[in-house]
Amino acid sequence: MLRAIKIRLYPNKEQVRQFNRLLGCCRFVYNQCLARKIKSYDERKFSENRTTLGRFIHHELLTDERFVWLRNQNTKVLKQTVIDLMAAYKNFFEGNAEFPKFKKKHAKTSSCRFEIGAISMRNDYTTYRLSLANIRNVKFKCSKKYADYLQKHKNHIKSATLKRLPCGIFQLSILVDGDLMRQVKETNSVVGIDLGVKDFVVTSEGEVFENLHFKKKESRKLKKLDRQLSRKKEGSNNWNKARLRLAREYYKIGNRKQHYLHAVSNSLIDENQVICMEDLNVSGMMQNHNLAESISEMNFGEFRRMLEYKAEWYNRKMVFVGRFYPSSKTCNHCGYINKELKLSDRRWTCPHCGHVIERDYNAALNILDEGMRIIGRSTPESKLVENPTVDEPTGDSSLKSSGSVKQEANKAQCLTLCKF
């Protein structure tokens, strides 16, 4: 099982210069290969591929006296830029990204990748020092659990990606083909979760994970650092120092947020076999300028990504309910759809049955019911005939036509079918 272990590097001044030179050389080679591909396309020559670009690096760039400084770098690291370029072209042709762009010299972030041949096999990760290519004895920090895991699976390391963050910190992500770091118990629990702005996650069991507002709590300090940066002359040494102070504050906020997302996702994965959630259109939600800052603060997309890969690791099942399903507007008690419900209505009374409804908790219950219906519909052995689907209206048009009553009788059967 492939997983990435992130560690923070603490290079000395000479090692910082070596890292910066290596990142600069990788940027230069990437731009040269991109320019060659564009030129060959414009001249209608044969298409450049990974093999021809590799020959271009070896027989032209490294032999050119103008670029003699490239010879001081590890060739295997430089050739990894070709893989990155081909991946960028693939994403472009598949419609997942824009056309590849040239990398800027003074970009906020830059990265390069070390393949297994550029990572020293003599590294002892329990000493918290490692060697990469021709850069020796670099100090790093991580938890003892991660250090022992890297030492245990040292022979199964696939690659390592070096990244220079906007705050000037160097981070190394090591890709390891190893086992799971922890074990989770088997469970028969199912849960529906509703993501929100007021509360980050509300579950169908009534558990609430608060929105801790990491950025909002530090807004005064961020504004102060931003004002200090705006008073400096752009490009000066003092401007760069102020920029680093602001970037480091954002880095700390990001770390706190990431830690909280891992804690919440681990809790949900450990306790439940099936997790039902909405297939939210986060990019569309960001168009609402009144909510965009709050939505981006909690990283709904990153939270979903965590749940998906952890569910795959620990044999859990994720069920996504359609984004147009009226989970908040539907009374879970009787099925009535309140079309007049506003976003500001956190609690409302059902006009049909008089049931007092907590908006987020009610939505989590409806998401759970709809998720169970989706599982039953996708499994031939389970036929949910007691409740019609959304496209099969009942006689009373005011009542919701799917998931109106909790399908407790089908949950055990669905759970059995979901385990894989």
Q: How far is CA 328 from CA 143, 279, 349, in A?
A: 42, 14, 13
pLDDT band with cut points at 50, 70 and 90 for residue 74: very high
Contact predicate 125/131, CB 8 Å: no
Residues 301 and 267 placed together within one structural domain of the fold: yes
Residues 191 and 90 placed together within one structural domain of the fold: no
Domain tally for the chain? 2
Residues 79 and 224 placed together within one structural domain of the fold: no
Q: pLDDT digit string (tens) for 239-285?
A: 999 999 999 999 999 999 999 999 999 999 999 999 999 988 877 77
> Among 150, 162, 156, which residue's Cα sits nearest to residue 5?
150
pLDDT at 389 over 90: no
Residue where a domain stops, chosen among 157, 177, 197: 177
Residues 24 and 147 placed together within one structural domain of the fold: yes
Residue where a domain stops, chosen among 122, 153, 177: 177
- The pair of structure tokens assigned to 390 is 């959304």
- pLDDT at position 419, please? 52
This model's pTM is above 0.85: no
Residues 246 and 152 placed together within one structural domain of the fold: no
Exposure string of 284-318, with b = 16+ CB inside 10 Å and e = fewer, is ebeeeeeeeebbebbbbeebbebbeebbeebebbb
Residues 200 and 73 placed together within one structural domain of the fold: no
pLDDT at 405 over 70: no
Q: What is the overall mean pLDDT for the chain?
A: 86
Residues 20 and 136 placed together within one structural domain of the fold: yes
Residue where a domain stops, chosen among 144, 177, 210: 177
Domain containing 196 equals: 183-420
Residues 243 and 166 placed together within one structural domain of the fold: no
Contact predicate 3/178, CB 8 Å: yes
pLDDT band with cut points at 50, 70 and 90 for residue 88: very high
Q: What percent of the chain has pLDDT over 70?
A: 90
Average pLDDT over residues 381-388: 35
Residues 145 and 195 placed together within one structural domain of the fold: no
Q: How far is CA 263 from CA 256, 258, 270, 309, in A?
A: 11, 9, 11, 15
Residues 340 and 288 placed together within one structural domain of the fold: yes
Q: pLDDT digit string (tens) for 304-323?
A: 999 999 999 999 999 999 88
Q: What percent of the chain has pLDDT over 90?
A: 60
Residues 262 and 298 placed together within one structural domain of the fold: yes
Q: pLDDT digit string (tens) for 124-155?
A: 999 999 999 889 999 999 999 999 999 999 99
Residues 288 and 200 placed together within one structural domain of the fold: yes
pLDDT band with cut points at 50, 70 and 90 for residue 407: very low
Q: pLDDT digit string (tens) for 346-364?
A: 888 888 888 888 888 988 9
